[in-house]
Structure formats: structure tokens, C-alpha cells
Chain A
């Protein structure tokens, strides 16, 4: 695993929107009219132009979040990821977004204490193999996300209500059409992690669990009834999809996290087998 390979994955992440998301945007363009349609035309053209020119589709290249599976040498992996982020910041280039939360000082490298965000996942992984998913999270959508501790007796209706309220309050700020990532169960931080992880599943793949799949469908149709529309200009498409991940939780808890995602759902997968490197789309 080399820093320039991580940087290459980041270039693809920022410049080449996944096809399932692009298809969702094209579907939205076909459904909308008036200025909402004009907005969607610009978005679809922007995706094409960014890919063609290999430049970041959005100037907010985000906070970089890595979901990593590897069997060994985790601290070395973090080290290479950091070098890759620094390199990509210069070469793609990425915007230098990372600041000290107290002083707001920006050192210009997208590196800092506990940043970029690296999650090591428990999933089994063969020795000598490393695989990762990367998300770029812009502040517009991260800023309207949240986690809530519900009363367990509120059940599925309570989950739906809190998600709809979060989306309604967010309005035009997270750059709709959005994708709604929902994490149900676990603990406070685990639900937030799952909500973000939910965004990794392609928009054309339903949840395996029937109750999660039902929640995804119900949420999508109710979010789209809010009428917020592209960039909050009104319309039938407020969300391209809803994605639910879940974990068992304490008998007295019902944690629910909502990770609102802007239309630019930038995700990429990469893997290493020995010295062989692959980007998976």
C-alpha cells in the first residue's frame, strides 16, 4: 500500500461520481420542471464535466472518512493514509478543510489530530489484504446530521418521525436531492457510524433485512412528499434514496442517527493484495 495509490483513490473519489448516484440525478432531472429542472441540468452537466476534466465536482472536498478492513499493521495503514491525503491535497488538488476546532487554525494539509477519520472494521480479512471504502463528507450535509436517543416504545413510527423532522429542518441547506443514511440501534456513536456506513450501499441495492428494507422504502416516499425539491426550489424529488443500517441495542434504548448526504455522494472502494492495487467502482 503506497501513498500515491491512496491519493489516486481520492482523485477518483472527488472527480468521478458513482454511476448509481449519477443515474439517480438523471432520473430527478426527468421528473422536475421550472427552475428545479434548470438546477438539475447544471448538476448533471457538472458531474460530466468534472469527470471529463478530472477536477473536484464540488469545491468542498469534505472531511475524508475511511472504513478499513485489514488483518495487521493498522498503525502503518493509518500512516500511509495520512501521507496519501497530504499528497492528494496538493495534486488533485483538494481544498484544505481541516482546522483546529478551538483556534480554527488551518495548516493547509488536511491533516490534524484524529483527522482524517479512519474506522477499522471488525469484519474478517485475509492476511496480506487491505480493503477500504472512502467517503468525502462536505460540511453542508454533515452540519444537518444528528443522533437521537429515542424511547424504545416509539418504535418504527418514532424512527420515521425523527428522520423526517431532521430532513425537514435541513431544508435546502444540505444540497438536495439528498440521500438519507440512517443508523438504528447500537449506542449513540455506533448509530452515527452506521448511518454513515449506510451511505456506502449502492442506491440500487435494497437492505437485506425485510424490516430495514421496508423502512427504507417508507422513508423515501415520505421524504419525497416534503416537496423540498432540488436545492429547495420545490419538486417531487427531495431524496434519491434512503439507506438503513442497524445493530442490536440495549433493551431500554433506541438510538437513531441520521446522516444527511448531499447529491454529491462521493464514495470509492479500493483494495490491496500484496503489492497489487485496485480501485473498485
Chain B
């Protein structure tokens, strides 16, 4: 994969912001990331299907497949987790929550790719295992939700500055880096 265009984005995104991004582009994010893994996806979908509101509004926001190490409000290490574990639930979350970007690693499947195209969202990859550098670009925990799930599975709202490189590997036009997805 060649080096693509570089974009610097905030984390309250409009459809047009993500429709501009193409596979191979590189994104640096400044704003807030909502960490969400396996169980947080299930719980969020259950709430949204019941026509209730989440305690945090994901419309236009960026979620991060990550279970960080946190000490107080300090983010100690916070790289991405394997996104494929969320494949079964991601399309529903994109649809129901109105999120605009997902950050993870390892790629996702056809269900997510189709949801990104249909609802105008994008999948980005931060280098796996790069937890220390991710913490360096984080400015601390702003809030946390669903702590009953245990630290790795809880939702942490992490403030970030120039968080990247995040590589666009699935865009909102049905394109994907890995053709076998």
C-alpha cells in the first residue's frame, strides 16, 4: 500500500468529512475517542434497539476498538485491539448510533464495509501493539461509562491530539485494502 493523502481531522464529523477519505489515506485525529469492545457493542445495540438513548451520544463521533491501561485519569498504554471480533455487531452499531469513524486494527468484514458505504462512515487502522505512542498522543481520560464491564471492556472517553497515523483501510465507497475481507 503506497502512502496516501494526509488528513488532520477533529472527532465531531459530518458525512462529507468521511466521504472525502479514500483507502490508503492517512488520518491524524484530534478530539475525543470512545473506546468500545465486544461487550460495549452488544450493550449499546441493545439500548438503541429499545429506542432508548445511550449515556453518551455517538452521532458524528469516533469509536476506538481499544481496552486501554488507565491509572486515574492518565492513559498509560492504549493501542487498538483486533477489530474482527466486533464484525458481527459493527454494522448495527454504525446504523443505530450514527458514528462516523471506527479506529481498530487487523481489518473488518463485508458487513461493516457495506454499513460504511450505506451510512457514510470509515474504518481506520492504528498500528497494532503501538500502545505507548498512542498514550503519548492522549491527553487523559475525560469520562468513563459502563465500568461494571471491567476495565478493558468499559467505555473510556479519551482526549487525543494528533492521534495517528491512522490508515484508511475501508472507506465509505465500498473500497477495502484487503480484497478478501
Contacts and interface: CB of A to CB of B under 8 A. Distances in A.
Interface in B13-71: 24, 26, 39, 66-69, 71
A177 B24 CA distance: 20
Contacts of A55: 76-77, 132, 135
A50 B4 CA distance: 28
B140 interface: no
A46 B39 contact: no
A134 to B, nearest CB: 18
Interface stretch (B90-98, B110-118, B122-130): B122-130
Interface string A160-171: 000000000001
B133 A45 contact: yes
Interface stretch (A88-96, A123-131, A239-247): A88-96
A97 B3 contact: no
Interface in B132-149: 132-136
Contacts of B170: none
A155 interface: no
A44 to B, nearest CB: 10
Given A59-B78, A60-B67, A46 B133 contact: yes
Contact of B26 (A38, A50, A60, A106): A38
Contacts of B73: none
B106 A96 contact: no
Contacts of A263: 129
A235 B165 CA distance: 18
Interface residues of A, number: 44
Contact of B66 (A56, A59, A106, A173): A59
Interface in A95-123: 95-97, 99, 104-106, 108
A140 B134 CA distance: 18
A94 B131 CA distance: 12
A55 B178 CA distance: 32
B120 interface: no
A173 B106 contact: yes
A19 B101 CA distance: 36
B81 interface: yes
Interface string A30-68: 000011101100110110011001011111110000000
B76 A56 contact: yes
Nearest to B85: A143
A34 B151 contact: no
Given A39-B127, A108-B150, A59 B39 contact: no
A172 interface: yes
Contacts of A158: none
A104 B1 CA distance: 38
B154 to A, nearest CB: 10
A192 interface: no
Most buried by B among A57, A94, A105, A231: A231
A233 B128 CA distance: 12
Contact of B151 (A58, A96, A138, A171): A96
Interface of B: 1-4, 24, 26, 39, 66-69, 71, 76-79, 81-82, 84, 105-107, 125, 127-136, 150-153, 165, 167, 177-178, 180
25 contacts: A34-B2, A35-B1, A35-B3, A46-B132, A49-B132, A53-B132, A55-B77, A58-B79, A93-B69, A93-B71, A94-B69, A95-B69, A95-B152, A97-B152, A106-B151, A106-B153, A140-B106, A140-B128, A171-B106, A171-B107, A175-B105, A231-B105, A231-B128, A232-B177, A233-B177
Given A59-B66, A104-B39, A106-B150, 14 more contacts: A35-B2, A35-B24, A46-B133, A53-B132, A57-B77, A57-B131, A57-B132, A58-B131, A59-B69, A59-B79, A106-B151, A108-B151, A172-B105, A175-B106
